[in-house]
Structure 1
Amino acid sequence: MNKKIAIPVKEGVLDSHFGHCSHFALIEVEGKEIIAEELVEAPPHVPGKLPPFLANLGVTDVLAGGMGARAIEIFNANNVNVFVGAPALQAKELVTGFLNETIEFNANCCNH
């Protein structure tokens, strides 16, 4: 199954504050193999804007440290799966661990 996974990053590492990241690493996978990588600049932070922005880029899944409940709802309404509580790793390392089920997702670190 093909996926396009978005990770909020700062200097290539997961940015734990999803809504205020500087960039998104977009990583395309086929099965468990990474087939393409892209770095896109995040638009200015406006509540509710990021979920449709990423959905329009073809994102199927988001790996994040923390995210507000409303953003998760909007992603789900746009058929994008959200996984929160991700560890602060390099984007490619995070995706590889996600695909191989070798990393642990903890509690959502966003409380607003």
Structure 2
Amino acid sequence: MKKKIAVPVKDGILDGHFGHCSHFALLDIADNSIVAEELVAAPPHEPGLLPPFLADLGVTDVIAGGMGNRAIQIFNQHNVNVFVGAPQISAVELVNGFLNKSLSFTANYCDH
């Protein structure tokens, strides 16, 4: 199964506030392994912009620390799965943990 997973990052580590990150790590997945990785600059923060922006890039899943409920709803409308409460580690570590089911998620720590 092919996937493209987006992780909001700052200096290579998960950025805890999804909507204000500077970049997204986009990781292409095939046969449950990372096959490609790219770093994409995030557009300026504007409510509701990031879900269609990432969906247009082919993203199927997002791993984040915190995210507002409205953003999650918009992602779902674009058929993008959202996983929140991820620890602040590198994008590659997050995705590998997600793929091998060893990644632990906590509560969504975004309150808006």
- TM tier, shorter chain? over 0.9
In the alignment, does 2:53 pair up with 1:57? no
Mapping of residues 18-33 of structure 1, within 5 Å? 18-33=18-33
User: Paired residues, what number?
Assistant: 112
* 2:26 is equivalent to residue 8 of structure 1: no
For the residue of structure 1 that corresponds to 2:76, the secondary structure is: helix
- What TM-score, normalized to structure 1? 0.99
- Structure 2 runs not aligned, ≥5 long: none
Moved runs in structure 1, 4+ residues, more than 3 A?
A: none
RMSD: 0.4
Unaligned residue ranges in structure 1 (runs of 5+): none
Distance across 1 between alignment mates of 2:103 and 2:52: 27
Is 2:97 aligned against 1:110? no
1:78 maps to 2:83: no
- Structure-2 residue corresponding to 1:37: 37
| Aligned-partner Cα distance in 2 for 1:63–1:72 | 11
Task: Read off the aligned partner of 1:34 and give its amino acid letter.
Answer: I
Paired amino acid for 2:73: E
* Whole-angstrom distance in 2 between the partners of 1:55 and 1:48: 12
Identity of aligned residues (%): 70
